[in-house]
């Protein structure tokens, strides 16, 4: 759908805009990832509300994670998460072998170090979605080889 | 090729919500970063410009528009093809002056403000959708048309409709192509 192009371009502009204003000294460097993640958080909260308006209550944490991997990921990124692993003690690893926001970049090592900038928003998206489903978490991401990436979700037991 | 899986209609709407919500989060963040409305407007316009310069390629690849011969054709295509393709709305076009280089797009529905009720307090001169102006300006520049694009009226500021004004600046240069070597 054409909407996708708009979101991809907007996301890329946001990332470069945040980092450009960091370069000009308006904001410290470390805050960039936080800013992007917070924006993702707000969007994730809003999205999950609209999403789960009519769905049945989730049975357990694993059910929620499966929902994120299947329906949520499919709607936002047009594909499912390729691999979900858990240690059944609150840590989940979501692996996407062809992450939509990274496919536009060259698949070699050239942009590997910059890839994490493009994952911050999505980390926030997941964290925001989980938060509005009643789960407090910390989400981090890593890229070992483009365009595959892993999102690690650590559930915070209150 | 496998048939695409049937997606519930509300999922498609949620996809559009993703863009609208992201845009809202962006504007909210900008309002936190910049105190003056003009700075936020300028930043949105700049971002839109960057998006427009790339969006035009996507647009030309998806649509089969033929070469335009007049500014009013260009404006019609922006309203009837581009807006429909990316935002799902069709603004109406009016021409504002006799020399036919000033046009207005009147939007009676604007999906970008779906979740916005009113501008935040103290932000009365914020052009919430200024990104759109930048996008149009950037896209036009990539097809060698320079234009000034700005919001003439805005529903969020209390006007009756939302109106985007496009003023084409230079005349389409025809002499270049007729030069004999």
Give the DSSP letter string of A12-80: HHHHHHHHHHHHTTSS-TTHHHHHHHHHHHHHHHHHHHHHTTSSPPP-SHHHHHHHIIIIIHHHHHSS-
Rounded Cα–Cα distance for residues B9 and A131 (Å): 25
DSSP B156: G
Residue B148 phi/psi, 5-degree rounding, is: -105, 125
Whole-number percent of chain A with pLDDT over 70: 94
Instruction: Identify the contact set of chain B against chain A, taking CB-CB distances under 8 A.
Output: 7, 10-12, 14-19, 21-26, 28-29, 33, 43, 46-47, 50-51, 54-55, 58, 62, 85-86, 115, 131
Contact B18 A13 (CB under 8 A): no
Q: Write down the residue that tokens 């694993």 correspond to.
A: A62
Work out whether strand A91-96 and strand B147-153 pair parallel, antiparallel, or are unpaired: unpaired
> Could you tell me the residue range of the domain that residue B55 belongs to?
39-115+126-168
For residue B33, which residues of chain A lie inside 8 Å, CB to CB? 21, 26-27
Closest CA to A121 of A16, A19, A34: A34
Q: Rounded to an integer, what distance in angstroms lies between the CA atom of residue B128 and that of residue B23?
A: 10
Q: How many CB atoms lie within 10 A of CB A122?
A: 26
Q: Which residues of B touch A9 (CB under 8 A)?
A: 50-51, 54-55
Q: Give the pLDDT confidence of A29-51 residue by residue, as tens digits.
A: 678 889 999 999 999 999 999 88
Phi, psi of A31 (to 5 degrees): -75, -15
Domain of A35, CATH number, reads 3.30.1380.20
In this predicted structure, what is the pLDDT of residue A30?
72
C-alpha span between A116 and A100 (Å, rounded) = 14
Kindly state whether residue B180 falls inside one of the protein's structural domains.
no
- pLDDT, one tens digit per residue, over B50-87 is 999 999 999 999 898 888 889 999 999 999 999 999 99
Q: Which residues of B touch A10 (CB under 8 A)?
A: 19, 22-23, 26, 47, 51, 131
CB-CB under 8 Å, B15 with A1: yes
Is pLDDT at A155 greater than 60 in this prediction? yes
Closest-CA residue of A relative to B61 is: A2
Separation of alpha carbons A81 and A103, rounded Å:
15
Number of structural domains found in chain A? 1
Is residue A47 within 8 A of residue B17, CB to CB? The reply is: yes
Residue B9 has pLDDT above 60, yes or no: no
Residue B176 within a domain: no
Residues of B in contact with A1 (CB under 8 A): 12, 15
Q: Which residues contact B95 (CB under 8 A, 6 or more apart)?
A: B72, B102, B103, B104
Name the domain count of chain B.
1
Is residue B178 included in any domain, yes or no?
no
- Per-residue pLDDT band for B8 (boundaries 50, 70, 90) equals low
**Cβ pair B15:A35 closer than 8 A:** no
Residues B75 and B105: beta-carbon distance below 8 Å: yes
C-alpha span between B14 and B7 (Å, rounded): 11
Record: contact B14-A75, CB cut-off 8 A: yes
Q: How far is A59 from chain B (nearest CA, A)?
A: 22
Least Cα separation, residue B21 to chain A (angstroms): 6
Nearest chain A residue (CA) to B52: A9
In a domain, B156, yes or no: yes
* Beta carbons of B43 and A13 less than 8 Å apart: no
Contact B18, A43 (CB under 8 A): yes
Q: List the domain range (segments joined by +) for residue A139.
A: 4-155
Domain-located, residue B69: yes
Contact check, Cβ <8 Å, B21/A47? yes
Averaged pLDDT of chain A = 88
pLDDT band at B177 (very low <50, low <70, confident <90, very high): very low
Task: Judge whether A145 and A134 are in contact, CB under 8 Å.
Answer: no
For residue B96, tell me if it sits in a domain: yes
The two structure tokens encoding residue B122: 């103290």
3-state secondary structure of A157: coil
Instruction: Tell me the pLDDT tens digit for each residue of B108-165.
Output: 889 898 888 888 888 888 999 999 999 999 999 999 999 999 999 998 888 889 999 9
| Interatomic CA distance for residues A157 and A154, integer angstroms | 9
Interchain CB distance below 8 Å, B26 and A6 = no
Among the partner-chain residues B12, B18, B25, the one whose CB lies closest to the CB of A42 is B25
Asked whether the beta carbons of residue B51 and residue A13 sit closer than 8 angstroms, the reply is yes
The two tokens of residue B45 are: 């316009």
- B74 belongs to a structural domain: yes
Closest by CA position to B55, among listed B141, B157, B167: B141
The whole-angstrom distance between A109's CA and the closest CA on chain B is: 24
Q: Which domain CATH number covers B54?
A: 3.30.1380.20
Tell me how far apart the alpha carbons of residues B149 and A156 are, in angstroms, rounded to a whole number.
48
Chain-centre distance for alpha carbon B148:
12
Q: Which residues fall within 8 angstroms of residue B22, CB to CB, at 6 or more apart?
A: A7, A10, A11, A14, A39, A43
Is residue B45 over pLDDT 60?
A: yes
Q: Per the domain annotation, does B26 fall within a domain?
A: no
Query: Using a CB-CB distance cutoff of 8 angstroms, which residues of chain A are in contact with residue B21?
Result: 42-43, 46-47
Nearby residues of A114 by Cβ (< 8 Å), 6 or more positions away: none
């Amino acid at each position: 759908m054409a909407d996708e192009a708009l979101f991809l371009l907007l996301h890329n502009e946001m990332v470069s805009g945040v980092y450009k204003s960091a370069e000009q000294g308006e904001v410290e460097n470390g805050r960039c990832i936080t800013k992007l993640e917070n924006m993702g958080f707000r969007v994730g909260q809003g999205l999950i509300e609209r999403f789960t308006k009519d769905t049945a209550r989730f049975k357990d944490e694993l059910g929620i994670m499966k929902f994120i991997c299947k329906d949520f990921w499919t709607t936002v990124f047009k594909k499912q998460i390729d691999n979900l692993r858990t240690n059944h003690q609150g840590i989940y690893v979501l692996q996407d072998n062809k992450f939509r926001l990274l496919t536009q970049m060259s698949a070699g090592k050239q942009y590997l170090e910059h890839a994490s900038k493009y994952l911050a928003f999505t980390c926030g998206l997941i964290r925001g979605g989980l938060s509005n489903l009643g789960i407090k978490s910390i989400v981090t991401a890593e890229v070992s080889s483009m365009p595959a990436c892993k999102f690690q979700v650590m559930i915070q037991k209150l | 090729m496998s048939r695409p899986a049937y997606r519930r209609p509300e999922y498609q709407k949620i996809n559009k919500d993703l863009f609208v919500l992201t845009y809202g989060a962006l504007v909210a963040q900008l309002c936190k970063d910049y105190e003056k409305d003009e700075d936020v407007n300028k930043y949105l316009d700049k971002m839109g410009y960057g998006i427009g310069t790339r969006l035009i390629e996507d647009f030309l690849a998806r649509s089969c528009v033929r070469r335009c011969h007049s500014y009013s054709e260009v404006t019609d295509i922006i309203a009837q093809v581009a807006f429909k393709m990316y935002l799902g709305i069709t603004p109406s076009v009016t021409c504002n002056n006799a020399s036919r280089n000033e046009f207005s797009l009147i939007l009676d529905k604007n999906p970008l403000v779906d979740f916005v009720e009113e501008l935040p307090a103290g932000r009365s001169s914020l052009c919430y959708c200024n990104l759109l102006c930048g996008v149009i300006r950037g896209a036009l520049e990539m097809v060698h048309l320079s234009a000034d694009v700005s919001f003439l009226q805005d529903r969020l500021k209390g006007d009756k409709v939302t109106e985007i004004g496009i003023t084409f600046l230079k005349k389409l240069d025809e002499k270049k192509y007729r030069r004999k070597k």
